[in-house]
Structure 1
Amino acid sequence: MTTGVAARTAGSDWRLKVVHELAPLDSSRAKQECREIAMAAKQAGLPRLSEFLSANSRQARFLRAVFDLSSFMRDCARRAPDMLDWLFDRDVEELLASIHADIGRSVHAEDVSEKSVMMTLRQLKLHAHFLIALADLAGEAEPAVTVRRLSDLAEACTQAAVMFLLREAHLQGKLKLPDPQRPTEGSGWIVLGMGKLGAHELNFSSDIDLVVFFDPQAPAIIDPLDASELFSRLTKRLVRILQDRTEHGYVFRTDLRLRPDPGSTPLAIPVQAALLYYEGRGQNWERAAMIKARPVAGDREAGVNFLKELQPYVWRKYMDFAAIADVHSIKRQIHAHKGHGEITVKGHNIKLGRGGIREIEFFVQTQQLIAGGRFPELRGRETVPMLAELASRNWITAEARDSLAKQYWFLRRVEHAVQMVADEQTHTLPQDDEGLERIAHMLAFANADTFADALRRALQEVERHYAALFETAPELSSGVGNLVFTGDVDDPDTLQTLQRLGFERPSDICRVIRAWHFGRYRATQSAEARERLTELTPALLEAFGKTRRADEALMRFNEFIAGLPAGIQLFSLLQSNPGLLKLLATILSAAPRLAAVITRRPHIFDGLLDPALLSELPDRAYLAARLSAFLEAAKTYEEILDRLRIFAAEQKFLIGVRLLAGSIDAERAGRAFSDLADLTIGAALEAVLEEFAVRHGKIAGGRVAILGMGKLGSRELTAGSDVDLILLYDHAADAEESDGEKPLAPSHYYTRLTQRLIAAVSAPTAEGVLYELDLRLRPSGNKGPVATNIDAFRKYQNEQAWTWEHMALTRARAVAGDDALCGEAEAEVAALIALPHDKTKIAKEAVEMRHMIEEEKPPRDLWDIKLVPGGLIDLEFIAQVGVLTGQLTSGERPIGTGETLRRLAPGFAGEQARQDLVDAYSLYLGLTQMIRLCLTDAFQRDDVPPGLSDLLLRSTDLPGFSVLEAHIKATARKVRAVFDRLLRS
């Protein structure tokens, strides 16, 4: 080895910092072993090392313990004591850098041969292995440093062997390398490190998992038809160079079994064939394996490109919960096959056993599979950094992150100690007392009992977190009771179980579940889907049993799955996430409108799984960012409109879920629904303007603005609201027609444009309707043109508008279009409202309008909250009259009804009246938002969906439904009394 340490000073200090004071198993034996190594050092001409080993320093005592505890370390020091002597002049990091340089140089010698490469790599690997182990045992290197050093060593050795083989193939005329001095570049030979090598987490005596591909179109390849055989032969020789045992040992045991279909594919696979395999036949465990894949040797650029092409396969666009069940079943099979059913110490498998390293890795990888498609920051290879990322995204708690990270590195230390005893690829703790005591001493524990206690705590902590993630549904099923749905006859014990869970018609429930098992729906036709649903059924029954009307909730779920095109994803998702199952039960028992959405769009559950959903507020910036990202891939006009419908439907659903879960209140939900409408209608307008201009061109100086009226204008939309709009336009005074292929006069142009917008927003497509539009609030109502010139709008409002039209203007707001024209429109509205109005006349006409509404559209019952005397219309009229007649406290003009009522001037409404109105609005808004969220039809007092009454009580904080109804009646009486006092007097 070229160490550059020829000049040695006898008095120089040993450069390894000893943090852990290790104790030997047998002190006298340890001293004798150290004396033998000191004698070997003296015979090798290393007097200072001999003297150093004979002393009683902290470092010497550490080495005696190491030699007594590890036969591998003792034999290495005996054969090559100079490895210890190097540490007088360089620290471990410097020595490892020197070894890496020697590995790189080893394949460049003029007389290099396969035999010489094998010998050199084995010798240098042994030197590095010894130094890495020494630093680890001393505690100078944390486990994270140790695994990185081991991984870098394996990568360097693999790359050196690949470079040798490529250059040799070039010299033999089998390849034509673009640059023989840099043989890997352009070679097309891709060597991916998998598993712990790919993640830079290699253990001390680990295999290295490699997968080998090649690009037949690479510059170095002479004949693409011969490339498969050539690279397979080179790969076979690569394995031999690395793992064959010689008198110098071995470099790394090498495993190629992670390649596609290893039983029938060559050792090196063309990249196109590999991509076709993964996309068409790839298994979920292969997706999980590819998370850690990394180019470690060969043509790294080609390797990076291959992994980029593979990304859509590994990181699915939608969360893939079937993967969880697959990975978890692998874990269960490992337990069954290996017999690791309990947490033990003696004979426990640190990697595969309960609470072991594999559970932490699976804990991370499964969540990466779920969320990595949506969050690129969760696509990392390394376990502990990914725990941190999961915590930062709220997928796991900070406590889980810290606990699992701590135990991961502790278990890796234990794993290394087990392997460092004799350099054996084992993960199993010794069965005997002396062997366990040895491991305890290597880890700096006082004795085996202390170590065993620490290990049990670590394993139990890991198992606790793992079980919480993976094993909730199986645990649920164990405590439910007898549930048998086979055959044609109801099982008596099952009927009792269902009654105990809260079902009133257990025989009907049995019949429904038997229909699932017989595969009568598309979602349950596959055997795997039925197996998933069978596993999920106990948890389903518990969740629906806790709703107030369990039978109806389960029947709605039955309708839900009857409409699904497939079921395995959904069933796997629900089995993996009990919280989501509980939310689904609430939706199906209380909210038919939301149930209809998830029936049509099952993948909408992806959004529900984001841990940040209930903590992130759906404000305008939040929605705008997501809309921009969602529209990014849309290229055509039709794609944009379809994506707008999909986005609006999904975001309405997610806003509704936040309201349902109580993470936002009714007022914030109204703002969110309104912001969503602003953004999507604005995006639709942009698309229409662009598409319309393709055929008809543009009008000189043409501008468009959309005024939102009604609940959109006041930012009080509900989940079921239609949208009131007025479209205003302006253009240059001398513009006569548009400049397109089919020119149109300005009035005709904007009329046609508005009709196109109406169709774009409200015409039904395969993705549904964006919004139902209402343009009746435009000047002259249904008799007037659908698009209005800004000057005509100004003139109409000043000269012809009715009082009710000015009242409607109090809620007008520019929601989309040209910024300057939007500003002009809002200024015009503000000016109209600010004009002096006859207070008596306005109030009188408002009362007359209210009376006419009561005559023409009387309320159905108390729950017709909008129309009932003293209901929402009364509140809106009071607010609008207050705005028009200047009866507000100073400040900017409020838009929303609630804010307007809060700002009524004391001279108009006294303090108590104002408070009564504000309280009434809050009550009505909360009830209306929840009812419109949950129901598509009118609220039927005698047929309240199960769970909805509970939600209404929660939103009002009242103890019972009869109390709520009495409260609504009392509130309506108060509002009507204030209405009469303010407007009729």
Structure 2
Amino acid sequence: MAVRAAGEQTNWLLKPAAKLAPLDQNRARRELSEITSAAQEDGLTRLAKFLAGKGASQEFLAAVFDLSPFLRGTVRRRPQILDALFDETVETRLAMIGAAIDKAARAEGISENSLMMELRQWKAEAHILIALADLSGEAETAITVRRLSDLADACTRAAVDFLLRDAHGQGKLKLSDPEDPARRSGWILLGMGKLGAHELNFSSDIDLVVFFDPQAPAVVDPLDATELFSRLTRRLVRILQDRTEHGYVFRTDLRLRPDPGSTPLAIPVEAALRYYEARGQNWERAAMIKARPVAGDLAAGAAFLKDLQPYIWRKYMDYAAIADVHSIKRQIHAHKGHGEIAVKGHNVKLGRGGIREIEFFVQTQQLIAGGRFPELRGRETVPMLGQLAARGWITADARDALARQYWFLRRVEHAVQMVADEQIHILPEDDEGLERIARMLGFADAAVFAEAFRAALHQVERHYAALFETAPELSAGIGNLVFTGDVDDPDTLRTLQRLGFQRASDICRVIRGWHFGRYRVTQSAEARERLTELTPALLQSFGQTRRADEALMRFEEFLAGLPAGIQLFSLLQSNPALLKLLATIMGAAPRLAAIITRRPHVFDGLLDPALLTELPDRAYLSGRLAAFLEGDRDYEDVLDRLRIFASEQKFLIGVRLLAGSIDPARAGRAFSDLADLTIEAALQAVIAEFALRHGRIAGGTVALLGMGKLGSRELTAGSDVDLILLYDHDTDAEESDGDKPLAPSHYYSRMTQRLISAVSAPTAEGVLYELDLRLRPSGNKGPVATHVDAFKKYQRKDAWTWEHMALSRARAIGGDQTLCTEAEAEVAAVLALPRDSAKVMAEASEMRTMIEKEKPPRDLWDLKLIPGGLIDLEFIAQVAVITGKVEAGRRITGTAEVLSRLAPDFAEVQVRQELCDAYALYLALTQMTRLCITGVFERDDVPPGLSDLLLAVTDLPDFGVLEAHLKETSQKVRKDFDLLLRAKRS
């Protein structure tokens, strides 16, 4: 860029109203100085002089660049973005950018690649300006989301106009006016979700659904129209989404179209209308509230939405439909404000008191009343709160509180995303990360922010819970429920059938048995009275599991094992969320139901009011375990208490996952921390007990290496545990010093056998873990315990490629700290050894081919074995580790972490993102299925409640959408696997 002429405008036009403090004042000054130098190098002397000065604007910029690596990096590369604000305000500049985007698509002779470059550059500048205006206080959040949405509209419109003109030039369309290509083209693009509502967040996907009118004047051949518009849609996604050296425009999601697993990307309007009227589901009705024509033939889009009005907006109060929407949105729970909310790691969008609860609060009222009151059909959340209050559907207090907290939570969401331009909604879990967000929002520190954030969430959840309390209850007109006498009441049988029970007579018999006091839990009159009061709600909850009979029978087994019931029945009656959770366990999670019926004491953990708000991290579990093992206990008692503790904590970690209070990744870490702690405790008990008879070896130490999913901290509820036991001792030690001395190798082999028995042998209290030691040197042929020197020698001289791949997940989990440190250092050294990358990739590829041949997947749901499944992802990560294709930093063992740090020369940014997204999807599905069922996942025999849980944990609206997404994901992963491990061999 040329040097500016002297005497021109030197007044920077963005005046920060907010004062932000950097994390590190000195670092902030250095970062601003680097950008000053970049401006000087680009000939922007006016900007360089301004940045070198002192004042509120410079302090604001220094703080912003210290707090947001993304904003800092973009401005360092393109300082002219700041320079433009000497001549134009943010508002004026954004209008100019919008006009330039519109003009780009119509430029004579512009190519697709040129358009992609221009859109990315204009979008990047607009993105920075919108962020700076938001952080400075120049723009309220309502303006920020509108600006982001307008930017997405403009980019989508430009890409669509370009594609239409291109199709016209090739003779595939005959446009009425190439200068206004979208008019009467018949190509309809509806923005959904936050795009449709003009409420995009800073790093949002854009949700589009695409339709077309085959009879539109521009369509040359109606029979070819589906293929043509689907092809154009595919190109549109590429133009907007593909990452190039200039970045990307917007990630684009087309999964909200009708039946995405079996429909083309663009659907004829008549077929779409038939689908919605005949097969459309209530979640699709709810989604269509926010639908808005954003590009293409806007008039045709408006006509299509007008035709859909009777489907979206029912004429009568549709409480049954609302009940269905509630069940579809099962991941959102109405909490009563009990217990503290953990700020770190909280999901601002989906968590308790989050943005989704406010949106759903509004949407539910709209679906109930929008059919009769057209003014309640708006797309935007806060204006609709106003309309709902004006018509008396909600109070003015609810309107004001939810509007205020909505914009506050949206600001928090934006701050989280502005740090690194990532589509995340979760607050950082580390102190520095939380402090960063607090300061971006103008708070003095993280503590002040945390207090305000908790207050906001509690206020939202209080109003949201009130919505559930006042929602129409089925029990108001439930019908007869008579369980007296010994003859079935006909009306009661009909009520039970209506509630979802198929074996109504058997259910009557079971409930009569409760009232006869046949179990300890119902022997007192007060307990029976409480149970009688609870029965209608109980039957409703079990009926909603959609396997009502099975759920109630499992509850019957649970009752049979309980020692007393008054406290339980009172708790369930006063806590509908807990009752719903219990019903979910009984109806959707046979594995958890079996635990709770065999060992009713684990239910005690559910009585802890802080259960769903306390995070089961290592410190929490360690403290609980220490308390549980307190006191002098003999060997067998320690082992039994470890089994009881592990059983209860596995159950409670599972319940947290089921309830949505922790995500699948955190569940994996919690299951792994639990295994670390309990196996280490078992090892110490075994060492002490073994020494009583055999004494100790001079200088003897033991270390346990966790391998496989334990090593990578990705255990599930049903995982077995892979271990290697290493030992060391003084070089001159010949035998132990006990009554029955043993030579060192024999000593540690016998001790390891004792550990295997302690951990894996079934007892009255169950099994601690199933152990697998096959990953030790020489596998099953080698000794169960390995001297550390033999381990080192084997790994350096004899180990196969697959063993080094497995070693990439090795992690010391217990034993002597010095030996653990030595073992981990040796593992790191072995992994860092120079290798022939092409040879490693070839061997890994051959192994994958062999596994595929010898263990073909059962079906799409065999997530480990399917082509493009977990094994592919694990192999990519492991090969990257042992060939040095992971970005520098501390050693990591988790597959997800490794994939996120693949070196740029090994995997491009887009490939890396695809792999990370795929792993997150597989992890979510695996954690939930392993939690809920013990055997193979049978697609045709999935408990319906489990289907809902899988949709909740993946945030997808429909099982068909999930399967389509799973199939598409596995195909992408296999393509990436071939690209990374097969195409790169040379």
Q: TM-score, normalised by structure 1?
A: 0.51
What displacement does 1:872 show? 0.2
Q: How does 1:61-210 map to 2 (within 5 A)?
A: none
Write the distance in 1 (CA, Å) between the matches of 2:340 and 2:856.
Answer: 54
Q: How does 1:289-438 map to 2 (within 5 A)?
A: none
Write the distance in 1 (CA, Å) between the matches of 2:911 and 2:917.
Answer: 10
Does the residue aligned with 2:944 lie in a helix, a strand or coil? coil
Write the distance in 1 (CA, Å) between the matches of 2:506 and 2:737.
Answer: 68
Which residue does the alignment assign to 1:851?
A: 849
What displacement does 1:515 show? 3.5
Instruction: Tell me, yes or no, if the aligned pair for 1:590 and 1:945 is still in contact at 8 Å.
Output: yes
Choose from 823, 829, 833 the match for 1:825.
Answer: 823
Amino acid corresponding to residue 780 of structure 1 in structure 2:
S
Larger Rg: 1
CA-to-aligned-CA distance 1:573-607 (integer Å, 9 cap, x gap): 43454332111001111111111111122222222
CA-to-aligned-CA distance 1:32-90 (integer Å, 9 cap, x gap): xxxxxxxxxxxxxxxxxxxxxxxxxxxxxxxxxxxxxxxxxxxxxxxxxxxxxxxxxxx
Which residue does the alignment assign to 1:890?
A: 888
Which residue does the alignment assign to 2:878?
A: 880
CA-to-aligned-CA distance 1:401-440 (integer Å, 9 cap, x gap): xxxxxxxxxxxxxxxxxxxxxxxxxxxxxxxxxxxxxxxx
What displacement does 1:653 show? 0.7
Write the distance in 1 (CA, Å) between the matches of 2:523 and 2:930.
Answer: 35
Write the distance in 1 (CA, Å) between the matches of 2:974 and 2:576.
Answer: 47
Does the residue aligned with 2:622 lie in a helix, a strand or coil? helix
Instruction: Tell me, yes or no, if the aligned pair for 1:486 and 1:514 is still in contact at 8 Å.
Output: yes
Which residue does the alignment assign to 2:711?
A: 713
2:690 corresponds to 1:692: yes
Which residue does the alignment assign to 1:557?
A: 555
CA-to-aligned-CA distance 1:536-574 (integer Å, 9 cap, x gap): 212211221232333332233233334556655544543
Amino acid corresponding to residue 875 of structure 2 in structure 1:
F
CA-to-aligned-CA distance 1:175-196 (integer Å, 9 cap, x gap): xxxxxxxxxxxxxxxxxxxxxx
Instruction: Tell me, yes or no, if the aligned pair for 1:870 and 1:976 is still in contact at 8 Å.
Output: yes
Does the residue aligned with 2:898 lie in a helix, a strand or coil? helix
What displacement does 1:933 show? 0.7
Instruction: Tell me, yes or no, if the aligned pair for 2:686 and 2:755 is still in contact at 8 Å.
Output: yes
Structure 1 residues 849, 392: CA separation in 2 closer, same or farther (over 3 Å shift)? closer
Write the distance in 2 (CA, Å) between the matches of 1:492 and 1:764.
Answer: 48
Write the distance in 2 (CA, Å) between the matches of 1:964 and 1:634.
Answer: 52
Write the distance in 2 (CA, Å) between the matches of 1:802 and 1:865.
Answer: 26
Does the residue aligned with 1:947 lie in a helix, a strand or coil? helix
Does the residue aligned with 1:515 lie in a helix, a strand or coil? helix
Does the residue aligned with 2:483 lie in a helix, a strand or coil? coil
CA-to-aligned-CA distance 1:375-409 (integer Å, 9 cap, x gap): xxxxxxxxxxxxxxx98899xxxxxxxxxxxxxxx
Instruction: Tell me, yes or no, if the aligned pair for 2:695 and 2:736 is still in contact at 8 Å.
Output: yes
Write the distance in 2 (CA, Å) between the matches of 1:479 and 1:625.
Answer: 48
Write the distance in 2 (CA, Å) between the matches of 1:391 and 1:577.
Answer: 13
Q: How does 1:241-640 map to 2 (within 5 A)?
A: 480-519=478-517, 523-524=521-522, 529-564=527-562, 567=565, 570-640=568-638
CA-to-aligned-CA distance 1:606-633 (integer Å, 9 cap, x gap): 2212221111111111110110010003
Write the distance in 2 (CA, Å) between the matches of 1:572 and 1:919.
Answer: 43
Which residue does the alignment assign to 2:661?
A: 663
Single out whichever of 560-569 and 750-759 deviates more from structure 2.
560-569
Instruction: Tell me, yes or no, if the aligned pair for 1:552 and 1:946 is still in contact at 8 Å.
Output: no
Amino acid corresponding to residue 736 of structure 1 in structure 2:
E
Which residue does the alignment assign to 1:737?
A: 735
2:680 corresponds to 1:682: yes
Instruction: Tell me, yes or no, if the aligned pair for 2:885 and 2:902 is still in contact at 8 Å.
Output: yes
Instruction: Tell me, yes or no, if the aligned pair for 2:503 and 2:549 is still in contact at 8 Å.
Output: yes
Structure 1 residues 392, 778: CA separation in 2 closer, same or farther (over 3 Å shift)? closer
Write the distance in 1 (CA, Å) between the matches of 2:814 and 2:586.
Answer: 36
Write the distance in 1 (CA, Å) between the matches of 2:602 and 2:761.
Answer: 22
Answer 1 or 2: higher relative contact order, Cα 8 Å, separation at least 6: 2
Amino acid corresponding to residue 734 of structure 1 in structure 2:
D
CA-to-aligned-CA distance 1:279-336 (integer Å, 9 cap, x gap): xxxxxxxxxxxxxxxxxxxxxxxxxxxxxxxxxxxxxxxxxxxxxxxxxxxxxxxxxx
Structure 1 residues 954, 391: CA separation in 2 closer, same or farther (over 3 Å shift)? closer
Q: How does 1:11-30 map to 2 (within 5 A)?
A: none
Instruction: Tell me, yes or no, if the aligned pair for 1:953 and 1:964 is still in contact at 8 Å.
Output: yes
Write the distance in 1 (CA, Å) between the matches of 2:637 and 2:800.
Answer: 42
Which residue does the alignment assign to 2:937?
A: 939
Instruction: Tell me, yes or no, if the aligned pair for 1:634 and 1:640 is still in contact at 8 Å.
Output: no
Does the residue aligned with 1:547 lie in a helix, a strand or coil? coil
Instruction: Tell me, yes or no, if the aligned pair for 1:705 and 1:818 is still in contact at 8 Å.
Output: yes
What displacement does 1:651 show? 0.6
Q: How does 1:46-65 map to 2 (within 5 A)?
A: none
Amino acid corresponding to residue 894 of structure 1 in structure 2:
I
Which residue does the alignment assign to 2:812?
A: 814
What displacement does 1:528 show? 5.5
Percent of counterpart pairs with the same letter? Answer: 79
Choose from 849, 857, 860 the match for 2:858.
Answer: 860
Instruction: Tell me, yes or no, if the aligned pair for 2:554 and 2:597 is still in contact at 8 Å.
Output: no
Instruction: Tell me, yes or no, if the aligned pair for 2:542 and 2:551 is still in contact at 8 Å.
Output: yes
What displacement does 1:477 show? 7.3
Write the distance in 2 (CA, Å) between the matches of 1:606 and 1:577.
Answer: 15
Structure 1 residues 970, 393: CA separation in 2 closer, same or farther (over 3 Å shift)? closer
Write the distance in 2 (CA, Å) between the matches of 1:572 and 1:694.
Answer: 50
2:814 corresponds to 1:792: no
Amino acid corresponding to residue 621 of structure 1 in structure 2:
A
Write the distance in 2 (CA, Å) between the matches of 1:603 and 1:578.
Answer: 21
Amino acid corresponding to residue 666 of structure 2 in structure 1:
R
Write the distance in 2 (CA, Å) between the matches of 1:792 and 1:739.
Answer: 24
Amino acid corresponding to residue 539 of structure 1 in structure 2:
A
Which residue does the alignment assign to 1:916?
A: 914
Structure 1 residues 941, 897: CA separation in 2 closer, same or farther (over 3 Å shift)? same
Instruction: Tell me, yes or no, if the aligned pair for 2:541 and 2:579 is still in contact at 8 Å.
Output: yes
Write the distance in 1 (CA, Å) between the matches of 2:767 and 2:973.
Answer: 36
CA-to-aligned-CA distance 1:837-865 (integer Å, 9 cap, x gap): 11111111111111111122111111110
Q: TM-score, normalised by structure 2?
A: 0.51
What displacement does 1:491 show? 1.5
Write the distance in 1 (CA, Å) between the matches of 2:340 and 2:864.
Answer: 44
Single out whichever of 907-916 and 501-510 deviates more from structure 2.
501-510
Alpha-carbon RMSD: 2.7
Write the distance in 1 (CA, Å) between the matches of 2:910 and 2:841.
Answer: 21
When the two structures are aligned, how many residues end up with a matched partner?
A: 523
Which residue does the alignment assign to 1:751?
A: 749
What displacement does 1:507 show? 3.3
Instruction: Tell me, yes or no, if the aligned pair for 2:341 and 2:613 is still in contact at 8 Å.
Output: no
Does the residue aligned with 1:708 lie in a helix, a strand or coil? strand
Write the distance in 1 (CA, Å) between the matches of 2:827 and 2:492.
Answer: 67
What displacement does 1:665 show? 0.6
Amino acid corresponding to residue 785 of structure 2 in structure 1:
A
Instruction: Tell me, yes or no, if the aligned pair for 1:393 and 1:611 is still in contact at 8 Å.
Output: no
CA-to-aligned-CA distance 1:692-737 (integer Å, 9 cap, x gap): 1111111110000000000000000000000000000000011011
Which residue does the alignment assign to 1:272?
A: none
Structure 1 residues 827, 391: CA separation in 2 closer, same or farther (over 3 Å shift)? closer
Write the distance in 2 (CA, Å) between the matches of 1:570 and 1:593.
Answer: 21
Structure 1 residues 851, 722: CA separation in 2 closer, same or farther (over 3 Å shift)? same
Write the distance in 2 (CA, Å) between the matches of 1:393 and 1:853.
Answer: 45
Instruction: Tell me, yes or no, if the aligned pair for 1:866 and 1:873 is still in contact at 8 Å.
Output: yes
Amino acid corresponding to residue 704 of structure 1 in structure 2:
V
